[in-house]
Chains A and B, each alone.
Chain A
């Protein structure tokens, strides 16, 4: 894992000191709320419905056990005993008192973490593939370039006051688990026919009020030129992006209004200027230095299969189901990737208690080379578990209600905090996720339904990614009452698509029945081993509409 150098330490510790002074001046009245609000937002502090909320950055979703234990400590000492993992691979605390946040940040800094780049119109925390360096078929560990982007973008003076926030995601694999086409910039690490590694760049994706799939702007940017290319995109956006209307200020609107061809021309013209200066050419030695932090763990040489595992599966059917649903093949023989579902039936998607976080940290330290990953689907990952240790890890997870065997199934729902917590929400999301998981609690039924991604947002800002849910649900407010709109056919992977709205919204009382109607329409119509999304793409929206709105 990346370790802070002296500059990182200095930046973070100075930032905490600055914020402490800003909080003191706000409390004493020296700073007005108007003056203070942008400062607190630059430090990840939002005001929500019931309290302040602090969003802590987890760069590219990678945590050490020490860092996760610190989250548990913060949950216990400064919050109400839990944290919420988000669709940006971050963690949020829902109840910190303003005057205690500087102390909290100071403790956080001791494990090389902070809340910088989690708010404001800057380049936000970079997100990536949760299976980085564990999955077979990866061109390169995406966290190396993610870390280089983090260092380039942190406090970048030119890009601190962009027209709007800016999100970058990176994947090193053809199977996109980082939703790169739904980001302002999505990067796919590629290898060309000469064996050189470079980057395919997608620009202008995003969700919110006006969803767009990103346009491919460059097929192959060579390694040393990546920052120059990114800086060119940012500079074009910063100069020409709209500042007159916040709803139209994201780069996706600029790409749409400018057109893909002209946008590419503008970026390439700027890129040529920056590249010629060689200012941003990343020296190979620096790439090597950062790469060394992400060196592969020292895996044991093990057989590809495990008798211990096979025997345990035979003896424990629940364990066997968990292996089938939540365990993914590792690139290294004798190892597996373990997904920890934070979606227990009837639970709050993404929430983990202090005790659960400590349990996962202990398992990571003992069995997974001290690494934990956070997924944008609000789950956790132990990336490197020996097949022989799977049963032990499962038993420990099970003891902490962390062994729900539902990865990628209908109850593995993404849900934003919604109107239970969020100041922007129009409707609640979490209770709906809970009701859906309870309705479909039977795991055999979930396996029969197969891969089905439900994503729920409590408002059009789409933090719950409803636009790219196979089934998306959007909460809307009608005169103070909650209603829910369904969209179908969205996808966040390498075949990204935006869902289509079925029609009029459903009430809180009828929405779960409507979801069941969508599911049974699919199971009635599917052919062979078709997944929900395959059937939808074959038959389209109409059969679902007919069943949903039949009189």
Chain B
């Protein structure tokens, strides 16, 4: 699997795709899979990152999600945001179709 987090990454989160429909999901502090990045558990430091990923790998998760992996998160003032363009796009939807993906749901809620 491609590397989605740099060696020096401080903050990280775990993401996967949901088995039933491929929706992007994030591992939450209470070990659920949420559809929004805002609900993701954020680890601080490499060891905490490893521990976070370990929580995503139990066999029973395989019934719900595919290919969980760690990705780097940046802290911006009091907010966290994904570090890479790839993860920013996964968290929102295609940049060329703002009516599709999570960004569309966000619009509907606002």
Contact = CB atoms under 8 A, between A and B. Distances in A.
Nearest to A50: B101
Interface in B71-110: 72, 83-86, 89-90, 93-97, 100-101
Given A421-B94, A431-B96, A97 B20 contact: yes
Contacts of B66: 33, 47
Given A50-B101, A420-B94, A97 B21 contact: yes
Nearest to B17: A47
B6 A51 contact: no
A52 B63 contact: no
Nearest to A481: B85
Interface residues of A, number: 31
Interface string B2-37: 000010000000000101111110000000000000
A430 B100 CA distance: 15
A480 B21 contact: no
Contacts of A420: 89, 94-97
A300 B12 CA distance: 68
Contacts of A47: 17, 22, 66-67
Given A430-B96, A481-B85, A50 B62 contact: no
Contacts of B83: 480
Interface string A17-38: 0000000001101001100000
A420 B89 CA distance: 7
Contact of A480 (B19, B62, B72): B72
B86 A480 contact: yes
Contact of A428 (B21, B95, B100, B101): B95
B100 A80 contact: yes
Contacts of B6: 479
Interface string A469-512: 00000000101111000000000000000000000000000000
Interface in A374-423: 419-421
A47 B23 CA distance: 10
B84 A48 contact: no
A52 B22 contact: yes
Interface residues of B, number: 26
A348 interface: yes
A50 B101 CA distance: 7
B89 A26 contact: no
Given A428-B85, A482-B85, A50 B24 contact: yes
Contact of B85 (A26, A52, A419): A419
Contacts of A32: 62
B82 to A, nearest CB: 9
Residue among B66, B67, B85 with max Cβ neighbours from chain A (10 Å)? B85
A49 B89 CA distance: 8
A47 B100 CA distance: 17
Closest 10 CB pairs of A and B: A480-B84, A51-B22, A420-B94, A97-B21, A52-B22, A430-B96, A29-B63, A49-B90, A420-B96, A50-B101
Interface of B: 6, 17, 19-24, 62-63, 66-67, 72, 83-86, 89-90, 93-97, 100-101
Given A50-B22, A428-B85, 10 more contacts: A27-B20, A49-B89, A50-B101, A95-B100, A99-B21, A348-B97, A419-B85, A419-B86, A431-B96, A479-B6
Interface of A: 26-27, 29, 32-33, 47-52, 80, 95, 97-99, 348, 419-421, 425, 427-428, 430-431, 434, 477, 479-482
25 contacts: A27-B63, A32-B62, A33-B19, A33-B66, A47-B22, A47-B66, A49-B24, A50-B93, A50-B100, A51-B17, A52-B22, A97-B20, A97-B21, A98-B22, A99-B20, A348-B96, A419-B85, A420-B96, A427-B85, A428-B89, A480-B72, A480-B86, A481-B84, A481-B85, A482-B85
